[in-house]
Amino acid sequence: MVSSTTSNRWLAVLGGIVAVLFGLFAFAMPGVMVASLVIAFAAFVIIDALILLAGGLTLGGDLGDLRWVLVAGAVIALVLAALALWNPVGFALTITILIGLWTLVTSIVQVIAGIALRPGPYWWVLVLSGVIGVIVGLYIITQPVAGTVVLVWALGIYAIVYGIGRILQGIAPGLGSGQATL
């Protein structure tokens, strides 16, 4: 950790600049950002699958039966990574559609819960937020390309806001005095 009162405040500024640039890149090139995230995910899955595979192939003793679970998990993970690398855009769209389905289902449940809680206070807030969620979920499902771009832009907005906060933390000597910063 770097304290904002030390001479290492430039690290916070540097981290903030990187975050802002990441966020701006997400807005400027959302397609490249999606493909990059999918490729990074696939690389992680491949490494993890190889570790699982090695563990499964070398497992013995009383846990020998577990070996096939690890090997099967590794094979499934490698297939998933291969699909991601074979078609990063299709993989990203599939994930986006799954997020849309999740949003739709949880929002329908939220509407039902709000109606069930109707005698109580603020039941309508659950219903309203559920209806908005249903609309968002349906939009993401029916427009997955736009939904993917919106998800990347949301990540970009977060990165820019986070980066500005880090930059301010690094350049404002009084900001966060006595508090540790990352």
pTM over 0.85: no
- The mean pLDDT value for 25-32 works out to 89
pLDDT at residue 46, as a whole number: 94
Whole-number pLDDT of residue 104: 94
| Measured distance between the N- and C-terminal CA atoms of the chain, rounded to whole angstroms | 5
Name the residue ranges covered by the structural domains of the chain.
2-171
- Look at residue 174 and give its three-state secondary structure: coil
**Segment 59-67 mean pLDDT:** 70
Structure tokens at 170: 């690094």
In angstroms, rounded to a whole number, what is the distance separating the alpha carbons of residues 156 and 112?
A: 33
DSSP string, 23-84: HHHHHH-HHHHHHHHHHHHHHHHHHHHHHHHHHHHH--GGGGGGHHHHHHHHHHHHHHHHHH
Tokens at residue 114, please? 């709000």
